[in-house]
Chain A
Amino acid sequence: KQEVTQIPAALSVPEGENLVLNCSFTDSAIYNLQWFRQDPGKGLTSLLLIQSSQREQTSGRLNASLDKSSGRSTLYIAASQPGDSATYLCAVLDYQLIWGAGTKLIIKP
């Protein structure tokens, strides 16, 4: 059974730093992996989707990588800003979306 883990559960860094969020999964037979952002009390916003045949995707200051063989994905955020503070979730598509528990990110001004 597919399991998705996100470590750390929470992360606090000063503004301006580059940072990496981690996502690992147990079964490499996935269709894709998505990273989402969730602000408190709000819905989920899709940030990046990496297809199973791809290695990485970029959008602005965000870069997501995928290594299926090791069951890992990372979300790299460059030059972090207070507005990046949110919970970041990853999910793998394995017929259904299987979710990680999320990393709560706080960017300190």
Chain B
Amino acid sequence: DVKVTQSSRYLVKRTGEKVFLECVQDMDHENMFWYRQDPGLGLRLIYFSYDVKMKEKGDIPEGYSVSREKKERFSLILESASTNQTSMYLCASTASTTSSYNEQFFGPGTRLTVL
């Protein structure tokens, strides 16, 4: 069974703090993704990575950065958290983004509140 884990289910931070969200997958997947999900806006892709040390911007990268030093771990960093970054953050992984039989698997999500 593919397992994607996220470091925290709930997180409360203050404006201006540096925030790290960690995601780990155990299936040796090449590709990892960070999404945020907001009511009425659906899922939006922040960043993705197709290999160690490689990253690509998604639809809404502003205010975020990422790090992928090891294949199994993909970190999302909020350099200076702001209230508009209060959201549900979802991590996902997949073996391939150009194969018809590869699924994306999701972690349980991190509900981040920035005060």
Contact = CB atoms under 8 A, between A and B. Distances in A.
Interface of A: 31-32, 34, 36, 41-46, 49, 51-53, 89, 91, 93, 95-97, 99-102
A100 B33 CA distance: 17
The 9 A-B pairs of least Cβ separation, nearest first, read A51-B100, A44-B106, A43-B108, A43-B109, A31-B100, A43-B106, A99-B43, A32-B100, A101-B42
Contacts of B102: 32
Contacts of A101: 42
A44 B111 CA distance: 14
Interface of A is mostly: strand
Contact of B106 (A45, A49, A51): A45
Given A93-B97, A95-B98, A101-B42, 11 more contacts: A31-B100, A32-B100, A34-B103, A34-B104, A44-B90, A44-B106, A46-B104, A51-B101, A96-B45, A96-B48, A100-B42
Nearest to B101: A51
A95 B97 contact: yes
14 contacts: A31-B99, A34-B103, A42-B108, A44-B106, A46-B103, A49-B103, A52-B100, A93-B100, A93-B104, A95-B97, A95-B98, A96-B58, A96-B97, A99-B42
